[in-house]
Amino acid sequence: MHPSTDPYTYLGFTRNADASITRIPDHIPTTASSNDPANPVLTKDAPINQETKTWARLYLPAATQAAKLPIIVYYHGGGFVLCSAASSMFQKFLSGIALEIPAVIVSVDYRLAPEHRLPAAYDDCAEALRWVMASDDEWLTGHADMSKCYIMGTSSGGNIVYYVWLREAARMKIEGLILHHPFFGGVERSASEMRLVDDAVLPACVADLMWSLALPLGFDRDHEFCNPVKADIVEKVKVLVTGCGGDPLIDRQIEVARMLAENGVNVIQEFSEGGFHGVELFDDSKALVFYELLKNFISNS
């Protein structure tokens, strides 16, 4: 991305005179759910909260077995300001996970900033996790093993995983967390952020705009929602943190993994060379490597 590129345009936003935004329609491709039995993975949508208009997309391998499957509650990425549970990139990625693990997946559609600033996404995703645990949906009651529940998120979704866990850990048993290229930051630039300041996928100006639109008004990137290094760890759980050297956020991700480990959390770190932020969503060969990593993490939990 050229440094002169407008970050609003990059995100598909038009900035209005009152500092609000207008979203460009169809900027992010979407895919409809389908429970056609000819598909290897079935999907369907279910409402969670009619007042906040949150919902979830459920994934179920078509060739289900008698034994119940692990369940993964997933929070999509997009810097808290973009995408949905219907975004095509996540549909493809999660279909692969459901098939390869195999697992039942519940992908949560939460409210976006700046219309709904943080902690709205945390509120929605925590509520969705409770909804999953109490749901009488036949896909969940018939095929999901709730004693093997994992929470996973990509980018901002990985950030959400962390904060939902801090909220909900004392209320329910979570088998493990997967922070996939998690989105964290801070006012002072890390070495990787400075090295990749004009990164083609996640340049600093775009990440900064995402945080300015998502954080509570009046706060900067040292707010705990962005920079969690001083957060209290009250419950212990197995955590997988993944990233890659071509991501400007890799130093932040390593720092968070270190903070968790220093607080007694069982952390598995997988940081590969090269790549870019969220590379497994777009590179099938990288996705297959991640699926195997995730499969091993779940089977060894």
Looking at residue 235, the DSSP 8-state letter turns out to be: S
> What is the structure's pLDDT at 89?
98
Assess if CATH 3.40.50.1820 describes domain 7-299: yes
Measured from the Cβ of residue 298, the count of other Cβ atoms closer than 10 Å reads 20
State the angle between helix axes of 156-168 and 120-134 in degrees (0 to 180), rounded to the nearest 10.
60
The CA distance from 168 to 162, in Å, is: 10
Residue 286: its H or E element: helix 284-299
Task: Give the bridge partners for 107, in sequence order.
Answer: 57, 74
Token pair listed for 196: 């990749």
SS3 for 160?
helix
pLDDT digits (tens, 9 = 90+) for 160-186: 999 999 988 878 889 999 999 999 999
Looking at residue 189, the DSSP 8-state letter turns out to be: P
The CA distance from 205 to 214, in Å, is: 14
Measured from the Cβ of residue 209, the count of other Cβ atoms closer than 10 Å reads 22
The CA distance from 92 to 54, in Å, is: 21
The CA distance from 277 to 249, in Å, is: 8
The CA distance from 33 to 90, in Å, is: 12
| pTM for the predicted model, two decimal places | 0.96
Q: What is the mean pLDDT of residues 73-88?
A: 99
Q: What is the mean pLDDT of residues 93-107?
A: 98
Contact 85, 76 (CB under 8 A): yes
Domain boundaries, the chain: 7-299
Side-chain-side CA neighbours of residue 142 (13 Å): 7
- Among candidate residues 55, 170, 148, the one with its CA nearest the CA of residue 106: 55
> What is the structure's pLDDT at 39?
94
Name the one residue in this structure whose structure tokens are 């300001």. 81
Contact 43, 120 (CB under 8 A): no
Torsion 8-54-56-176 (CA) sign: positive
Cα-Cα-Cα-Cα torsion 287, 288, 292, 294, nearest 10 degrees, comes to: 20
The CA distance from 255 to 184, in Å, is: 10
pLDDT digits (tens, 9 = 90+) for 105-141: 999 999 999 999 999 999 999 999 999 999 999 999 9
pLDDT digits (tens, 9 = 90+) for 211-243: 999 999 999 999 999 998 655 665 678 999 999
Mean pLDDT of the chain: 95
Residue type at 55?
W
What are the residue numbers of the active site? 155, 247, 277
